[in-house]
Every structure is written in structure tokens, then in C-alpha cells.
Amino acid sequence: MGAQQWIAMVVLCATFFQLCRAVDSSADDKLLSLPGQPRVSFQQYAGYVTVDKNQNRALFFYFVEAETDPASKPLGLAVPPLEQVLSLSMAPFRPSDGGSLVRNDYSWNKEANMLYLESPAGVGFSYSANQSFYDLVNDTITAQDNFVFLQNWFLKFPEYKNRDLFIAGESYAGHYVPQLADLIVKSGIKFNLKGVALGNPLFGIDAEIPGAIDPYDVTANVCLSSGASLLGAQNNPLTPRSRLFSSAESLQEVLSQQKAQENIDLCVQEETFVYLNRKDVQESFHAKLVGTQQWTLCSSVVQYDLRNLEIPTIDVVGSLVNSGIRVLVYSGDQDSVVPFTGSRTLVEGLAKQLGLNATVPYTAWLEDKQIGGWTQVYGDILTFSTIRGGSHLAPFSSPGRSLAMFAAFLSGKPLV
């Protein structure tokens, strides 16, 4: 056998070995069923992907195939902790007070193959065996780990590498998601990234939180007041307080007449916490606790660099748009943490900066013949939408409308 034939044989054997290894590893992650789970026809997987062999750092994932025709559906990557996945109406099931799982009619795997990632290490079941890693975690480390995770996950599931990829997240994912997408674009690796969806995103404390305050409410009365009225306010400090109290009472009366439009289990987070800390559940998820005694949503071991809160990421979003990546920014219109007014202002400013004209004017969109929210599209690539009745975690408070919005985004069609 000649040298060239020998080299070709070695390469062929190595390739075959890698393929077998990938198939075996994904098979090892397959879930037969979760405790208390109703019967389903789609496949589920859960386990770990190592992102740093030297420090033995690994990120936990839960992957569910689409309910129907998974071979033709895109891949959706979501980065909330598992507790939020199970309680926010993103997953196929949610825990009940009886300790079993019930089907979720608004699961996002109705529209896509969904990959849920717990990140950074120290969150949920994700871990670092080297505890010193937790001393200072930041956005740069998190984005790099998420990028390595995705690369290595595709080695386990190579059949999904060429699927259309959409990345979604909420709240601080306004940092995680754009930064990961930016790494993907700049890497040149063909992940087939098509779009990112950012729910109630924090793009930066200084840039967005002021949206909670209408500056005219602060200045108008003062600017228009006469000196006499200012003096009266000083002499009667309780008068404005009594007016506020009266307004609050009136508001409470109005709110008490409102009825919830969706059936929401207010205890689902507690039920999820109990469920995920069961031994049999952790074994079914192929999960383990490293350096902690129980699964928790907010880990006290991770010392995250809070200075990252002040870093604006809206320019990263603009870079993605310039690269041809579709961007959806959506907000629950009842969000008091990151109000939709601030997000809408940022998106509108970004559109002007990029020279994008409104291709769909600010208009209402419908879900089940009811107003689902309001939406505006710029240049057929940048979208801002509100979800009527949505809280800071909109898929929890408005699951049906959130799913309708997600489906429209995947299809590339505007909400109508």
C-alpha cells in the first residue's frame, strides 16, 4: 500500500470514528421519559457539553425535537435556566402541584426543535469543577463558553448543523444573545444563523432603565408652576402625598375589576424548584450537582462582574443587522423591570442610525382574533413588538401570544 493510500485510509478511519463517537454520545443523552411525564411522540435529550477540558467546565442542555416533522423544522437555541424553561411555557411540560408533569399547549417546540442551555457555569446544573472559575465571571467568558458549547453540541448532533438557527433569550440575554451571535458571525463558521429574538432585553442600565420614567412627568409641573404654587407645595408637603394615595386607590379599584386572560399557575416556580431537586428527576436529566447541595435558579457561587450591566449592547445588535441577521426585540407591555418604552426608543434610534425605514408602521397585531400587541418593522430585518398583558417574562404571563409571535418570527413574516 502506497503512502497516499495509507494516509487516505487513516483519514477515513478517523472520520468514521468521529461519526460513531458523535452518534454514541447523542444516544447517551437520550431521555426515555421524565418522572411523571405524559406520553409524547417526539424525542428528548439532556446532558452536558464540555467547554473547557482543563478546568472541567461543562454546560447543561435540554433538547426537545419539534412535535411534528422535526426534520424540516429549524433549530431554536434558548438560554434561560431550566427552571424558567419549565415554568415560562417554553418547554413541552410544566410541573404540577402533584409532582407530575402536564403538557404545555404553548410549547415552543410546536414550531422548532428547541435547545435549552443553562449558562454560565454555576447556573442550574452547569458547573465548573475548578471552583476558582466562579470568582469573576463576565460577559466575555460567558459568550465564549456559549460559542464553544454550540460548536461541540453540533458534534453530538451533526444532523442539525445545517438547519436554520435562531437564538432567543430574555432579560439579561440582551447581553448573552447578541454577544454569542456576534461571535458566530465573526468566526466565519457556517452555523446558518438566521435571526435572534430578544425578550424584554437589558441592553444596558444607563441606556434602557430611564425608559421607566417619562421626563415630562418630572419637569412639566415644575416648569409650569408659579412661585406661589411652589411655595404652597413647600408649606403643605402632605397634599401631593394624599393625592398620590387617592390615585393609587382609584387604580386599585380599576385593576381589581380586571380578570386574567390566560390560565396561569402562580406557584409553578416553586413546583419547578421542588421537581428539579428530586433525585429521580436529576437522574433522568443525566444531571449532577457539582459544588452545591441543590439546584437553584440564582446561584450564590457565581461572582458575576456587575460592571457588565453598564455596557450597552445595542450597537452589537446593529452589527448583527448589518450582517443580514434578522432581529426581533419584543416586550411585555406590563413589564416594570425593563419597560417597553425604553426598548422601543432604543430600537427606533437604532433603525435611524442604520438608515432603515419603517416597512411596517406601528400597528396592532392579532392572535386568535384579539389584539396580541403592537409591532413595527424597519427594513424588513429589524422588528419591535409588544405582547399585550405580558410581564417581564412574557411567555409565562402571555404564553399564547408569545408562541404566535415566535412562529411569525421563524417564518420571516410580519405579525398581522
HEC sequence for 289-345:
CCCCCCCCCCCCCCCECHHHHHCCCHHHHHHHHHCCCEEEEEEECCCCCCCHHHHHH
Q: Following DSSP, what letter does each residue of 200-254 receive, concatenated?
A: S----HHHHGGGGS-HHHHHHHHHH--HHHHHHHHH-THHHHHHHHHHHHHHHHH
HSE of 303, CA atoms in CB hemisphere, 13 A: 6
Task: Please give the grid coordinates belonging to residue 135.
Answer: 470568582
Q: Is 171 a catalytic residue?
A: yes
Q: Is 398 a catalytic residue?
A: no
Q: Is 392 a catalytic residue?
A: yes
Q: Torsion over CA of 171, 176, 182 and 187, rounded to 10 degrees?
A: -160
Closest by CA to 201, choosing from 344, 83, 85, is 344
Sequence-distant contacts of 274-277: CB under 8 A, at least 24 apart: 274/95, 274/99, 275/86, 275/95, 275/99, 275/101, 276/82, 276/83, 276/86
For residues 365 and 371, is the Cβ–Cβ distance under 8 A?
A: yes
For residues 306 and 138, is the Cβ–Cβ distance under 8 A?
A: no
Alpha carbons 354 and 382: distance in angstroms, whole number:
10
Given 126, 175, 343, 392, which residue is catalytic? 392
Closest by CA to 99, choosing from 315, 305, 276, is 276
Given 89, 175, 335, 398, which residue is catalytic? 335
Task: Please give the grid coordinates belonging to residue 208.
Answer: 434602557
For residues 343 and 358, is the Cβ–Cβ distance under 8 A?
A: no
Given 26, 87, 107, 171, which residue is catalytic? 171
End-to-end CA distance of the chain: 66
The answer for residues whose C-beta is within 8 angstroms of residue 381's C-beta and 6 or more apart is: 321, 324, 325, 326, 327, 356
DSSP 86: H
Query: Active-site residue numbers?
Result: 171, 335, 392
